[in-house]
Structure 1
């Protein structure tokens, strides 16, 4: 007994569309990525980025008055509750 052979055209079989959909989705996603990359390009990195990083690290190693409020708040947050001043309204 011979297996039954279908004479329908290829586009009427669902598995054909499943096989073709994978590469088609990849092509569409690649084109979308290309459009996003060309229209929304990131700005060029500052040519002097290394020196700016060195300056930031130097400021962190030698803190000046600009960090004084942050240091005071940090130290205040580490103060035990018994040593805090009574700030209740009189």
Structure 2
């Protein structure tokens, strides 16, 4: 999935640079399950720090038709929080 730069900037503005991951090495832990049996792909990882940021991100993603895969501690053993392989 490709996300336009203008939209990436809007997402980054919500979470700040510390909550915006777009480097493959930084995103890798979020694209697989705890056992490393299931792997997916993602164009970005967003780490909101407040419930307000969560609400703003979800509203923007809904408005722009962007899929969201929520992840807590990413410690599940069944791959339920793994993003799809096509991102």
TM-score tier after normalising by the smaller chain length: under 0.3
Question: Which one scores higher on RCO, CA 8 angstroms, separation ≥ 6?
Answer: 2
TM-score w.r.t. the length of structure 2 is: 0.19
TM-score w.r.t. the length of structure 1 is: 0.19
Q: If each structure's helix is expressed as a fraction of its own residues, which one has the higher value? A: 1
Query: In terms of Rg, which structure is larger?
Result: 1
Q: If each structure's strand is expressed as a fraction of its own residues, which one has the higher value? A: 2
